[in-house]
Structure 1
Amino acid sequence: MGFTSLSAFNAILADLPDADQDALLGAQARNATLTKPAGSLGRLEEIAMWYASWRGDARPDVNAPQVIIFAGNHGVTAQGVSAFPPEVTVQMVANFEQGGASINQLSKNAGAAMSVHAIELDRPTEDFTTAPAMSEEDCVAALLIGWNAVSETSDLLVVGEMGIGNTTPAAAIANALFGGAAAEWTGRGTGVDDAGLQIKTDVVAKGVAKFGAQDPLQVLAALGGRELAAMAGAIARARVLRIPVILDGFICCAAAATLEKAHAGALEHCIAGHVSAESGHARLLDALGKQALLDLGLRLGEGSGAALAIPVVRAAVACHSGMASFAEAGVSEG
């Protein structure tokens, strides 16, 4: 399955598979028999049953988590929206490839296979204060990179990003999709000072005023970036393959939001790994109806918060699938 236009991609989103209700019912029935008081594992129980429903197995295992990092550069950085220069994107990609970044350690810790996809770093997107960030052709190409990066053998997916300046397009997308003032969605990103934050807020407002009144996928093209489009493509592909997804921070969730706004329910196979310290993320999670698993003050990106949540999902599934029932353990149900 593939696509050659945003309308064709939109058609795929309109016909996404649903969770397996038989597996869900089976998981609920199993959960009711396990050697614990009802509800005593809290959200772990919900996570396990959610996971079972998407894998089509009432007693599943997590054996092959996958972490994919996409990198892109942004023309809007010319406006002074980041505390770091665009060259850092290339340098950090090399660091990922050499195993030296935080996400490398977190992926290893979680037992996840990790890959990095640098997307035309020598050709930044356009500055969206003057022109659409991407043409439809460029956006579709990036969506396809994400789509094709997902392994059919994976059973849990995290997508992350690297791209200097990319909290600015994320804020612009969130603002365009959910309304409000630009200042409500715009944060300090890599650590801009007050003057930099004001510049960034003005840039977001200008971009949204110019290109925000479009359908969600056109918003992704006009205000986003190649790495954001690739994340959206990967998340959609995971849904087609019924692979559960752990969403990362503000940038990942902004990319994912374009899918949800295009077709309500498109993110039902996703949970939020964490709520980041980037100011718009909690607001965005509320808009998406997602409750974060972790709140550790992270704001690194790279998929780091979501990768940190992989062991939580694995623990939930391990308890659900590995625990004995009252009957098996010879324990009275009380």
Structure 2
Amino acid sequence: MTFTIEPITHKFDNEIQAIIDGKTKPLGALGQLETTAKAIARVQVTQSEQLARLVIKKPALIIFAGDHGVAAEGVSIAPSEVTGQMVANFATGGAAISVFCRQLGWDLSVVDAGILHKPSPELNVIDQHLGNITQPLHLQAAMTVETVKEGFSKAKSLISKTKKNGCNLIAFGEMGIGNTTSSSAIMAAVMNISAVETVGKGTGVSDDVVKKKQQVVEQALKLHADKLSDPIQLLACLGGFEIVQITGAMLAAAEDNMHVVVDGFTCTAAAMVAIQINPAVKDYMIFAHCSGEQGHQKMLTWLTVEPLLSLELRLGEGTGAALALPLIQASVAFYNDMASFEQASVTKVV
């Protein structure tokens, strides 16, 4: 499956910057809010008459959940059964992400991308099941290439429906016991670094478990070494059902000219693969936060991006992305409504 993403135009960069610089403030005084506003404007401004006003419409956050065969190796503090239990918690409104979405105005939905224990029908979890659990990535490919393509197709269809509902800003969360091991392997493969540099404590495991995770990742990297230069093969070998669908959803959202808010470690791993598949997707991304997972800052540095927040979060679920929404809205609000020096009859500060 291919994703046709329109590269953003830099045609109006000077005009956008002039609007930002013309507000009643010293140059650059709103810091990252200014760079965020400019990034949003670049996506939205395709004609000069659109310069004056930006808009964020019906922000949506989608959690993709998937189970990982590697979890049986003891790389997490919890068994795979917890994935399904947390899916129910998301759907009934009891999880952190549920609370934040209610507070901040996100439209939250939950997707079964492939978990061991299927959720009850009354929970209204979206069924995009690719299988019950991936294969252990250090022993064989986590899934087939055909499964990756099926995941992309399902993700693209879901994004299309979300776009039709009026959304133009979307974020993704994830749930999957063992998925930081998968994400660490993806990071190591993309950045061509060792497992020691990528593997962290995840949700809070012991030092012994960290060593086990490092060994598993190194074994996976050696096993699949001849396939990791191709991003689709990389996902098949090292990914999870939820990571595959997040990757596809990011690409599909950019194809639909939507802003993509990138959450923490696992979602950034998906973003790295999406950028490998189509580099144009990066300009549609807003990186929400730097998580407490030890490899995440290295990812962000490698991508040369600045996150909006740094709160030492390491929960996943999309919590960092959710919390970034007020800052994104503030970026749009000052661009739209803050007076210029001329409008306010204020002497311009240079």
TM exceeding 0.5: yes
Once the two structures are superposed, the pairs formed by residues 222-237 of structure 1 within 5 Å of their partners are: 222-237=237-252
Contact 1:68–1:149 under 8 Å retained in 2 = no
Letter in 2 for 1:333: K
Q: Which string of whole-angstrom CA distances, capped at 9 and with x for unpartnered residues, describes residues 58-104 of structure 1? A: 22022321111000001111111111010000000000100111111
* Letter of the 1:103 counterpart: I
Q: Which moved more, 1:82-91 or 1:147-156?
A: 147-156
Tell me by how many angstroms 1:329 deviates.
1.9
Specify the alignment match of 1:203 in structure 2.
Answer: 216
Out of 92, 108, 111, the position equivalent to 2:105 is 111
Does the CA contact (< 8 Å) of 1:84 and 1:190 recur in 2? no
Q: What secondary structure, in the 3-state scheme, does the structure 2 residue paired with 1:96 have?
A: helix
Q: Which residue of 1 aligns with 2:139?
A: 130
Deviation at 1:265, TM superposition (A): 4.0
Alignment check: 8 A CA contact 2:248 2:274 kept:
no
Structure 2 Cα separation of the partners of residues 71 and 212 of structure 1: 27
Residues in 1 aligned to 2:277 and 2:11: alpha-carbon distance in whole angstroms: 28
Distance, in Å, in 2 between the alignment partners of 1:18 and 1:265 is 5
1:254 is paired with a residue of what secondary structure? Answer: helix
- Aligned residue for 2:171, secondary structure, equals strand
* Native 8 Å contact 1:23 1:52 kept in 2: no
Q: 1:32 aligns with which of 21, 32, 35?
A: 21
SS at match of 1:294: coil
Match among 217, 222, 236 for residue 221 of structure 1? 236
- Contact in 2 for aligned 1:249/1:274 (Cα 8 Å): yes
Measure how far apart 1:134 and its partner are.
1.0
> 1:301: Cα distance to partner?
0.3
- 2:245 match: secondary structure: helix
Check whether the contact 1:48–1:316 (CA below 8 A) recurs between aligned residues.
yes
Distance 2:218 2:321 in 1: 29
Counterparts of 2:15 and 2:253 in 1: how far apart (Å)?
23
State how 1:280-299 maps to structure 2 within 5 Å: 280-299=295-314
**1:46 corresponds to which letter in structure 2?**
T
Change (3 A) 1:178 1:69: same
Query: Once the 2 structures are TM-superposed, how far is the Cα of residue 119 of structure 1 from its aligned partner?
Result: 1.7
Counterpart in the other structure of 1:333: 348
Q: How does 1:37-52 map to 2 (within 5 A)?
A: 37-52=26-41
* TM-score normalised by the chain length of structure 1: 0.92
Question: 5+ unaligned residues in a row in structure 1: which ranges?
Answer: 1-7
Aligned residue type for 1:308: L
Q: CA deviation at 1:23?
A: 5.0
> How many angstroms apart in 1 are the aligned matches of 2:106 and 2:337?
21
Equivalent in the alignment of 1:71: 65
2: CA distance between counterparts of 1:280 and 1:37? 36
**1:50: Cα distance to partner?**
0.8
- Cα offsets for 1:294-332 (capped at 9, x unmatched): 111100000101111111111111011111222222223
* Superposed displacement of residue 262, structure 1: 3.0
Structure 1 stretches (4+) deviating beyond 6 angstroms? none
**Which residue in the other structure is 1:167 paired with?**
180
How far, CA to CA, are the matches of 2:158 and 2:12 in structure 1? 27
CA drift of 1:25 comes to: 4.1
Is the partner of 2:343 in helix, strand or coil?
Answer: helix
Instruction: Give how far 1:129 is off.
Output: 1.5
Residues 313 and 192 (structure 1 numbering): CA distance in 2 closer, same or farther, change over 3 Å?
A: same
Aligned to 2:91: 97
What percent of counterpart residues are identical? 38
CA contact (8 A) 2:148 2:232 kept: no
RMSD (Å) for aligned C-alpha atoms: 1.5
Is the Cα contact below 8 Å between 2:39 and 2:283 reproduced in 1?
Answer: no
Cα contact 2:188–2:198 (8 A) shared by 1: yes
Q: Which letter does structure 2 place at the counterpart of 1:43?
A: Q
1:183 to 196, 202, 208: 196
Q: Would you say 1:147 and 2:162 are equivalent positions?
A: no
Alignment equivalent of 2:339, drawn from 324, 327, 333: 324
How has the CA–CA distance of structure 1 residues 265 and 289 changed in structure 2, closer, same or farther, with 3 Å as cutoff? Answer: farther
Taking structure 2 as the reference length, the TM-score comes to 0.88
